[in-house]
Amino acid sequence: MADKLRRRDFIKGSAAIGLSALCGGAALASAGRKGRVVFPGAEDAVVAAVRGDNYLLSTQRAVDILGGMAKFVSKGARVAILPNSQSRHPGAFTKPEIVRATIQMCRQAGAKEVNCLSWLPEKYWEASGLGRAVLEEGAGLKVVDLKDETLFKSIPLPKGKVLKEARIMSCLFDYDIWINLPIMKDHAGNKFTGTLKNLMGLNLAAVNRSFHTGDFQTKPDDVQHLDQCIADLNLAVKPTLCIVDATEFITTNGPFGPGQLAAPRRVVAGVDRVAVDSYCTTLLGMKGEDIVMIKRGYEHGLGEIDLKKVKIREEEA
């Protein structure tokens, strides 16, 4: 295989994104009366955390603890995956092994199609090694053109405190299932990124830029604005499953790095975004209540922030 992925192989079918139906995946999401998107699936606050050096096996085991991928992916389903691919620096992007494991499990569960979604150009996927993992596992990469705003679906957020409208990739709604696959790491503003913040990878970048007002790195009001916007954004769509790379991540100079690294060697999985993010903050010596974004997500009813009320299963791979 050539070192550089050929574009026609790497982005299979991406030219057809603009032709996708806006709401093709009825099993994925149905618009609520107030514009909120409701997803099926278990709502129990259960977090699985598996530690080990083989990240592929750890990912498989974490999902097995939750009941196995077949619990989330039915035969013939179309699956969308959202890894974090925004940087080439160690500890700043989702590990390829975790992406591989997720694709493999979806295939084994009988998925008809598995694609990663992104508005980041091909070069980001090549630099991180994620592109090769996607290609070798027989999945596809759908890169949405940010210059074409018609490729993003408007979703009103009547319960949003600050953000009143999301602009989510229209192609997401062609899928039956979507799996959130972030890496947890430092962020210059709110000091933590995980499942909640990764949703910005589906939202129109021009809208995301409005989250960063004033001095969002130091001024509390501006940091809270960023956090509230992210929490509001999560009212738009809900992942079927979250799998977090907490194996090795930057603890400084986030989200792009390079930065100092921590290596808890964990893969964390769950359905409840707030519970998963709250657990992940403990790997940084914090708790969910320390991060405004997570608190606001809890206040929106997106999940459980009190880990005493969460069923946590920790294992060695």
pLDDT digit string, tens, across residues 215-232: 555 566 677 889 999 999
d(C-alpha 69, C-alpha 106), whole Å? 6
User: Helix, strand or coil for residue 38?
Assistant: strand
- pLDDT of 139 reads 96
Closest CA to 199 of 215, 186, 211: 211
Cα 240 vs. chain centroid, distance in angstroms? 11
Q: What percent of the chain has pLDDT over 90?
A: 67
Q: Could you report the per-residue pLDDT of 174-191, keeping only the tens digit for each? A: 999 999 999 999 867 668
- Across the range 150-168, mean pLDDT stands at 96
DSSP codes, 79-108:
EEEEE--S--STTSS--HHHHHHHHHHHHH
Q: Could you report the per-residue pLDDT of 19-51, keeping only the tens digit for each? A: 222 223 333 433 332 333 333 333 468 999 999
Task: For the domain made up of 33-316, give the CATH fold.
Answer: Rossmann fold (3.40.50)
Domain boundaries, the chain: 33-316
- pLDDT of 276 reads 98
Summary mean pLDDT of the chain: 85
Neighbouring residues of 300: CB distance < 8 A, sequence distance ≥ 6: 159, 231, 232, 234, 235
Q: Could you report the per-residue pLDDT of 54-80, keeping only the tens digit for each? A: 999 999 999 999 999 999 999 999 999
- Across the range 170-177, mean pLDDT stands at 96
d(C-alpha 30, C-alpha 125), whole Å? 31
Closest CA to 237 of 286, 177, 279: 177
pTM listed for this prediction: 0.86
pLDDT surpassing 60 at residue 156: yes
- The DSSP letter of residue 51 is E
